[in-house]
Structure 1
Amino acid sequence: MNRLALAGLALTASAAGTLPALAADLPQAPAPAPAYDAAPAGQHSIDWTGLYVGGQLGWAFGNFDNTTGGLSNDFSTNGVGGGVYAGYNFQVTPNIVVGLETDFNLTDLEKSGTVGGLSLKSSSDWNANFRGRLGYAFDRYLIYGAGGLALADLEASANGFKDSKTALGWTLGAGAEAAVTNNIVARFDYTYQDFGDQNFNLGGTGVNSDFNNHQVRAGIAYKF
């Protein structure tokens, strides 16, 4: 009986020693993958292609170089200017943007003075531009140059007579835009207009006026 008990104890001890080895040979559950914080999503660059319409407000600086009877006098003036603009951009490459734009602006440019004894008033109430644009885009920003044709209303008056005309000239400018959202675009724009010599007949008195102006404007547009 004692021998049977001792044999049972020896068998139990042997089985107990074997179990860890058998457990080590069994398939093990894979270790959990390490956790990492998600990388922040990159900011999506705007697609500049499309139609846009906006409004702008700023300041205009005008100069009328008036000549009559062989004598001349420069009338320099400045005032508020603002209006509307619209255009279409085409993004040729991720960085190169070309487009066409037109704008119409009301201005408060008026100055009176004397030229060779003639009391003269020169004024311009509105102007417009038809421009091609070439820009460089990076992220949500665009810098551009622009140039083309310009129109302006010019008027001269003296001694109860006045003469007005719509003058054709040229324009150059540059600016920068920022996409506040994918549809709202803010801008800062500089434009120069030159209309050359314009002739006015004031009751038989001829007046020649060489008009140019500079405009600095801020605007905001909706891009479709």
Structure 2
Amino acid sequence: MKPVITALVLAAAFSAGAQAADLPSRERTFQPPPTPPAFAWTGVYAGLDIGAGAFASGKSDAGVSGGGLVGYNHRIGPLFVVGLETDFSGTSLSGGGRGPDPLGLRGPERARSLPWFGTLRGRFGVTGFDSRVLFYGTGGFAYGDVGGSIREGWTAGGGVEWAFAPRWSVKTEYLFTDLGENGGGDPGAARGASFHTVRVGVNYHFDLPSR
């Protein structure tokens, strides 16, 4: 009888061990958080921006600006982005000429105003630690209405843009613009029409290629 009991005990122990081996392990394996998908940047985009600015010389009051833009980006390799962008903005910038002229050598000059301006610029950017963040420099052609006179000149600056959703990005940007060439209009319009602008905006990206 004892051999039978012993055999039953051994069989029960073996069965219990086998069932324990089949149970899932309580030890958790570490899984890193999923990496967000790379943002392609390549494609057409359009957006709106709003900001503030002031003339660079003479007595000037800060004003607001706002407008729209359209552009195209092309990504080169894993890091670089090149593009072309055009924008148009209305502003409330105004100022009082080029400052004092005690000798009266510069002739009459009335107060400046900048009802609107536009730019056509190239962009060159770098995506660093995160493909969704683009640091860029920009520069090119500028034009605008300075005191009733249509002027042409140049602009340059830079900014940072963050793609917070698959087709949306926000940006902050600084531009220095010099509309030094008088294209006609009132000869008494103020000269020295250079100004600073800082603006924020949101862009919608069309036809981005899948990654």
The TM-score with structure 1 as length reference comes to: 0.71
Q: 1:146 and 1:119, CA in 2 relative to 1: closer, same or farther beyond 3 A?
A: closer
Query: Does 2:84 match 1:91?
Result: no
**Residue correspondences, number:** 194
Partners of 1:119 and 1:101 lie apart in 2 by 34
Determine helix, strand or coil for the equivalent of 1:59. Answer: strand
Structure 1 residue 41: Cα displacement: 2.4
Give every structure 1 segment of 4 or more consecutive aligned residues whose post-TM-superposition deviation is greater than 4 Å.
14-26, 112-115, 199-202, 205-208
Query: Does 2:141 match 1:149?
Result: yes
Q: 1:96 and 1:41, CA in 2 relative to 1: closer, same or farther beyond 3 A?
A: same
Aligned to 1:53: 46
Aligned to 1:211: 193
User: Greater CA radius of gyration, 1 or 2?
Assistant: 1
Aligned to 1:196: 180
Tell me the amino acid that sits aligned with residue 141 of structure 1.
V
Q: 1:195 and 1:24, CA in 2 relative to 1: closer, same or farther beyond 3 A?
A: same
Q: Which runs of 5+ in 1 are unaligned?
A: 1-11, 65-73, 157-163
Partners of 1:55 and 1:32 lie apart in 2 by 59
- Give a deviation string over 1:29-65, Cα, whole Å, max 9, x none: 653342426723233332222222111111111246x
- Structure holding more strand per residue: 1
Contact residue 43 and residue 74 of structure 2 kept, 8 A = yes
Aligned to 1:127: 117
Q: Which runs of 5+ in 2 are unaligned?
A: 207-211
Q: What percent of counterpart residues are identical?
A: 34
Query: Does 2:46 match 1:32?
Result: no
Q: 1:181 and 1:155, CA in 2 relative to 1: closer, same or farther beyond 3 A?
A: same
Determine helix, strand or coil for the equivalent of 1:135. Answer: strand
Tell me the amino acid that sits aligned with residue 221 of structure 1.
N
- Give a deviation string over 1:71-112, Cα, whole Å, max 9, x none: xxx453431111111212222222222211111111123334
1:111 is matched with which residue: 73, 95, 118?
95
CA RMSD of aligned residues (A): 3.2
Partners of 1:34 and 1:17 lie apart in 2 by 31
Partners of 2:202 and 2:87 lie apart in 1 by 13
Partners of 1:178 and 1:206 lie apart in 2 by 44
Q: 1:172 and 1:20, CA in 2 relative to 1: closer, same or farther beyond 3 A?
A: same
Partners of 1:201 and 1:130 lie apart in 2 by 22
Partners of 1:208 and 1:22 lie apart in 2 by 104
The TM-score with structure 2 as length reference comes to: 0.74
Structure 1 residue 212: Cα displacement: 0.9
Aligned to 2:209: none
Partners of 1:22 and 1:57 lie apart in 2 by 80
